Amino acid sequence: MTILTTRLTLLSAVVAAAVACAFYPCARAAPPPLGISSRATVVRVVDGDTIDVEIRKVVRVRLRDCWAAELHGTPAEKTRGELAKKFCEKNSLATQGILFVPTDGSRNIGDVTTLGRVLGYYWSDGSEKSLSELMVESGYATKSKPKD
């Protein structure tokens, strides 16, 4: 290939990409939502809606949009909490994936934490659904906080 042919081929590719972006908006990459995203490994399941993940250090994550029964309280709640924890362990413990902590609308890091836990979502590699979605869809958690 001559230098002229190489330049024309490169120019053709650039023009084709520009045309695709102009006429096909779906071809443009949308900016990601504001937040903190990192590769992570689940190292411990605390209960049905809280996991410990290792990024470079272990971080306790309170799963967003996921409210599972706690491990304390009435005997019935303890039983539901144990079942939720076991399901959460089965679907996350020792998996690698993505931890996403949304920060849109947050003024400081305190807005994305609660009780010493980061508020976030976790996706195991290969899963199209977040751990929160799996917990809710399986019936082990609800998307919003239950009323007392």
Question: Using one digit for the tens of pLDDT, what is the confidence trace for 63-113?
Answer: 999 999 999 999 999 999 999 999 999 999 999 999 999 988 788 778 888
As a whole number, mean pLDDT of residues 23-41 equals: 65
Whether the model clears a pTM of 0.85, i.e. scores above it, the answer is: no
Burial class (CB in 10 A: 0-12, 13-18, 19+), 85: buried
pLDDT computed for residue 103 by the predictor: 86
pLDDT computed for residue 143 by the predictor: 95
Whether the per-residue pLDDT at 8 is higher than 50: the answer is: no
* Same-domain pairing of 74 and 111: yes
Residues β-bridged to residue 102? 35
* Same-domain pairing of 63 and 131: yes
Asked if the structure places residue 148 within a domain, the reply is no
Asked if the structure places residue 128 within a domain, the reply is yes
pLDDT computed for residue 29 by the predictor: 55
Number of domains into which the chain is organized: 2
Please state the separation of Cα 76 from the chain's center in Å. 30
Q: Which domain holds residue 8?
A: 1-30
Whether the per-residue pLDDT at 19 is higher than 50: the answer is: no
* Same-domain pairing of 121 and 82: yes
Averaged confidence pLDDT in the chain: 80
Whether the per-residue pLDDT at 13 is higher than 60: the answer is: no
Could you give the angle at the alpha carbon of 53 between the alpha carbons of 35 and 138, nearest 5°?
85
As a whole number, mean pLDDT of residues 2-19 equals: 34
